[in-house]
Amino acid sequence: MEEISVDFDGIYAHNFPPPLRLPNMFIKRSLPARLHPCFLLVLASTISEIAFMARGDVGTASHYTPPYQPTECYGGDPSQFPSSNLFAAAGDGVWDNGAACGRQYLVRCISASKSGTCIPERTIQIKIVDYALSSSSAAVASKQSVTGATLVLSQTAFGAIANSSVDSINVEFQQV
C-alpha cells in the first residue's frame, strides 16, 4: 500500500512536500494580520483621547514662589523634584491624605478670568511634591497666588499653560 498524504485539519504526512495551497492560505491570512496593528493603534489613540475628555476632573490652579523646599512629601530631598520643574502642591481634593505624593497628573488650562491668558492647546505632566494646606512646608498659603486652589503649580508649570500674570486658572486634570 502506497503512502498517501492525509489532509486532516492542515496536518500532512511527513514525507510529502507542503501542498501548493498552503502559501495561498498564508498570504490570505497575513493580510488582515498586517492591518490589525494599524486599526488597533488608531482605536487606542481615539479611545485614550475620549477617555481624557471624559475622565479628566475640573478644578482650579494657582502658583507659588520658590524656594520649593522643604516639602510635606520629601522633606529637604531635592532628588524628588522632576528635572522639568513641572510639579505642584496638592490642594485638599487631590492630597488624599498624603497618598498623592509622587502621583503624576496631566494638566490643561481650560479657561481664565482674563481672556487670552490660557494656553489651552498645551498639556503638561506634573508631579505632586507638596501639600498646599501645610503650615510648615515651602507651599504655605502666604506664597500662593491665591489660596484654596485644587493644584498649586510651580512657576514653570503655571507659565507653561497660562500667562503667569494671572493668579488662578481653571484646569482639567487627570492622573496618569
Name the minimum Å distance from CB 101 to ligand NAG.
32
- Cβ atoms of residues 39 and 46 within 8 Å: no
In angstroms, the first-to-last Cα distance of the chain is: 69
* CA distance linking residue 49 with residue 43, whole number of Å: 10
**Residue with the three cell numbers 490660557:** 118
Cα–Cα separations (whole angstroms), residue 75 to 69, 79, 131, 144? 7, 11, 11, 19
Name the minimum Å distance from CB 119 to ligand NAG.
9
Name the minimum Å distance from CB 166 to ligand NAG.
8
Name the minimum Å distance from CB 79 to ligand NAG.
32
Q: Which uninterrupted H or E stretch holds 159?
A: helix 155-161
Residues in Cβ contact with 111 at an 8 Å cutoff, skipping those fewer than 6 apart: 118, 169, 170
Name the minimum Å distance from CB 154 to ligand NAG.
18
Q: Which is nearer to ligand NAG, 119 or 141 (CB)?
A: 119
Q: Which is nearer to ligand NAG, 84 or 163 (CB)?
A: 163
CB-nearest residue to ligand NAG: 163
Q: Which is nearer to ligand NAG, 101 or 166 (CB)?
A: 166
Question: For binding to ligand NAG (CB under 6 A), which residues are involved?
Answer: 163, 165
Q: Which is nearer to ligand NAG, 78 or 116 (CB)?
A: 116
Q: Which is nearer to ligand NAG, 70 or 159 (CB)?
A: 159
* CA distance linking residue 170 with residue 113, whole number of Å: 9
